[in-house]
Chain A
Amino acid sequence: MKPAPQQRIWMYATMLKSRLFDAAVFEAYWEGKKPVFHMGRGPLPGEMHQSFGQEPTAVGVCAHLGPDDAVGAGHRPHHVAIARGVDLERMAAELFGKKTGLSGGRGGHMHLYDNKVSFFCSGIIAEGMGPGAGMALARKMRKQPGIAVAYNGDGAVNQGAFHEVMNMAALWKLPFVCVIEDNKYAVSVTTRESTAVPAWKRAAAYDCPGEYVTGNDPDLIFEAAARAVKHARDGNGPFILELETERLHGHFIGDVAGYRSKDEVAAQKDPIPSYRQRLLDEKVLTVADMEALEAQVRQVVAAAIQFGRDSEYPAPREALERVFA
């Protein structure tokens, strides 16, 4: 099932939105952190794991999801959150630690939650698996439509939770799609160095389908994701969808990634310009329409970042609130 023109336009616009958002975050992150790098300084403190290059994995899958579905992600969540439709202004405010943030500033960049679109993420590797499958279980128990998708990195597949949850998802035929983003690195350790057999092949152990999509190409990911999502929606149980992608920057902002060779880094391809060109070449959009779309995306991102900057901080004492319901 190939993507329709509108879907391709949505995918491009969403990848661009994610990219521009991350670029703006990158700028803001460095404020206050030069020349002396102190992670806690500046308007955007803490750790920051960005999604440059991984945008296709988010849009190719989320293009198939709707309001009945749920999505969990990991410590590199921005592209997934944006593709899922998380409130961009409240997401920006959360990164800036503001009162208007998704969690009122309590969570920060690795702990983005938006219950309006059933989105959550966690900073602990593979933590999306259990809760993600649990959201699938709830839908099944309550006979509600919808599936759950959990995003994991290539490193996460070696956590025990991966195996435990896949086994149960298979046993109980949960409407669950396990997406693995293979950006080839878990911080400094390559997939080859960490994983004995490619993770998608483990699907055999769970008697469920598994596919690997090469190329970091939104259209190809879209097609494979259509199969995965349909499999889950039809009540046939889980699906492991492993997607080759590219981590264009270091593991977190500030990681010079000395463990990667310069040649390797130079050979990486940015998926967004090539997709843009493809849409123009295939006349999905005219240049004028493309530019108008881009201007619109730029404006939305700028407004969200400004909202984050302009919003107020929470009062210090609010730290004590919301521990319990």
Chain B
Amino acid sequence: MTDITVPEGLWGSDDEGVIFAWIYADGARVEAGKLVAELTVEKAQLELLAPASGTLRILAPAETVVRKGTVIGKIEPV
């Protein structure tokens, strides 16, 4: 099981961000390194890539406010 964590380096400031959209639905098969969610911080739109391949489990739905380091989902090994 791999956590999908909002990366520390994804944005510069300590501001909160928001999950703008998940690209895949809960239970979908995803591939490591591919886009899995879009986040916004202020006006900037940021891409979050899948840290592993497997089945996506969404813990925080779209519109959830997040910080860097927040775990927003998991990837279950196939």
Q: Which residues of A contact B17 (CB under 8 A)?
A: 35
Q: Please give the distance in Å from B39's CB to the nearest CB on chain A.
A: 11
Most buried by B among A33, A255, A256: A256
Is chain A's interface secondary structure helix, strand, loop, or mixed overall?
Answer: loop
Q: Which residues of A contact B18 (CB under 8 A)?
A: 35-37
Number of chain B residues close to chain A: CB under 8 A: 11
Closest chain A residue to B43, Cβ basis:
A254
Alpha-carbon distance between A142 and B66 when the two chains are bound, in angstroms: 63
Q: Is the CB of B16 within 8 A of A255?
A: no
Residue interface mask A31-49, B partner, CB < 8 A = 1: 0011111000000000000
Q: Is the CB of A36 within 8 A of B44?
A: no
Q: Please give the distance in Å from A46's CB to the nearest CB on chain B.
A: 13
Q: Which residues of A contact B12 (CB under 8 A)?
A: 256
User: In the complex, which residues 261-316 of chain A have their Cβ closer than 8 Å to any Cβ of chain B?
Assistant: none
Q: Please give the distance in Å from A95's CB to the nearest CB on chain B.
A: 19
Q: Which of B43, B63, B65 contacts A256 (CB 8 A)?
A: B43
User: In the complex, which residues 45-78 of chain B have their Cβ closer than 8 Å to any Cβ of chain A?
Assistant: 63, 65
Residues of B within 8 A of A (CB): 12, 15-18, 40, 42-44, 63, 65
Residues of A within 8 A of B (CB): 33-37, 254-256, 258
Instruction: Show 26 residue pairs from A and B whose CB-CB distance is below 8 angstroms, ordered by the A residue.
Output: A33-B42, A34-B15, A34-B16, A34-B42, A35-B15, A35-B16, A35-B17, A35-B18, A35-B65, A36-B18, A36-B40, A36-B63, A36-B65, A37-B18, A37-B40, A37-B42, A37-B43, A254-B42, A254-B43, A254-B44, A255-B43, A256-B12, A256-B42, A256-B43, A256-B44, A258-B44
